[in-house]
């Protein structure tokens, strides 16, 4: 497994593979890897085959964090991440620095960003107004450096995957986006690097996101058609029964356009964000 620390070095390696006709699968991450990330690696390997190359990037991207968010304390463990990647058969791990990804930014000489202006407006776009500009910018840059044929994202970040797909289509990136299923713990909690923050009684309370999704799925299956405001209110009451839970949002929307719906029916998608203490978790599922 190669460890590539420079942007130019990553691009040179990717071009070398391209010239040889080798397919490249890519999994962008912010590190602190877990089984969910490894499932994305497996999906990338499946797409490019044993003769292809799988690249994982490990980079905590500062431009997708707001001023009051957890950039400084976001969990990091590069040594452990590299061990997991090696065991999973990753061919190269790209570990750039801020100076490489945003050259001259500290001196005010970086000023180019990528924005998606429709799918990014709701949900996470409301709660974290600068988030998706940071995501689309860094992913576009990573695509230009890794030059993948296939890039794999997790369904846990449903809106993010939709935004990336739109960016790829709109800007004619020559690659395929694959969205892999969410992996969950035995109790239903979606795997996330931020789960590390859930200490003490916060961890069992965090299952309220999955329990809310299951409740919504049951209600829609029975009623077939429910007012979104009513279902949102019922779920909020359930979530707030947990002593350390604070609801950020629950949204019901069309899975393709991400536009909110007034009536929830089978096929509607649901997403929610909940604070457990200071830790903010997200989840989503089809109803």
Q: Which residues are catalytic?
A: 37
Whole-number CA gyration radius for the chain: 19
Length of the chain equals 287
Which among 156, 144, 135, 178 has a CA at the least distance from the CA of 46? Answer: 178
Tokens standing for 10? Answer: 């990553």
Rounded distance between C-alpha atoms, residue 286 and residue 188, angstroms? 15
With both helix axes pointing from N to C terminus, report the angle between 208-223 and 228-239 in degrees, rounded to the nearest 10.
150
Q: What are phi and psi of 29, to 5 degrees?
A: -140, 165
Q: Enter the tokens of residue 259.
A: 């536009």
Q: Which residue pairs from 124-130 have beta carbons closer than 8 angstroms and sit at least 24 positions apart in sequence? A: 124/159, 124/160, 124/273, 124/282, 125/159, 126/249, 127/248, 127/249, 127/273, 128/66, 128/69, 129/66, 130/63, 130/64, 130/66
**Do 141 and 112 contact (CB within 8 A), yes or no?**
no
The 3-state DSSP class for residue 159 equals helix
| Separation CA 253–CA 260 (nearest Å) | 4
């Amino acid at each position: 497994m190669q460890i590539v620390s420079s942007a130019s070095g990553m691009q040179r390696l990717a071009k070398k593979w391209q010239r040889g006709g080798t397919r490249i699968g890519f999994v962008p991450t912010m590190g602190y890897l877990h089984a969910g990330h490894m499932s994305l690696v497996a999906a990338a390997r499946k797409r490019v085959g044993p003769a292809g190359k799988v690249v994982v990037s490990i980079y905590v991207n500062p431009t997708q964090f707001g001023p009051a968010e957890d950039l400084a304390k976001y969990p990091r463990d590069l040594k452990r991440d590299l061990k997991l990647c090696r065991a999973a058969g990753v061919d190269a791990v790209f570990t750039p620095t801020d100076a490489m990804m945003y050259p001259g930014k500290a001196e005010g000489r970086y000023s180019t960003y990528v924005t998606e202006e429709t799918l990014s407006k709701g949900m996470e776009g409301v709660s974290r107004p600068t988030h998706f500009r940071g995501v689309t910018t860094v992913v576009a840059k990573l695509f230009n450096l890794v030059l993948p044929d296939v890039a794999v994202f997790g369904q846990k970040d449903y809106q993010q995957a939709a935004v990336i797909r739109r960016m790829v289509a709109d800007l004619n990136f020559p690659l395929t986006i694959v969205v892999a299923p969410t992996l969950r713990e035995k109790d239903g909690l979606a795997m996330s690097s931020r789960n590390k923050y859930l200490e003490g009684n916060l961890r069992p309370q965090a299952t309220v996101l999955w329990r809310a999704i299951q409740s919504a799925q049951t209600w829609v299956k029975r009623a077939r058609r429910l007012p979104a405001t009513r279902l949102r209110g019922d779920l909020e009451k359930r979530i707030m029964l947990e002593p350390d839970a604070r609801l950020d949002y629950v949204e019901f929307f069309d899975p393709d356009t991400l536009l909110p719906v007034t009536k929830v029916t089978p096929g509607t998608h649901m997403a929610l964000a909940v604070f457990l203490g200071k830790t903010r978790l997200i989840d989503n599922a089809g109803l």
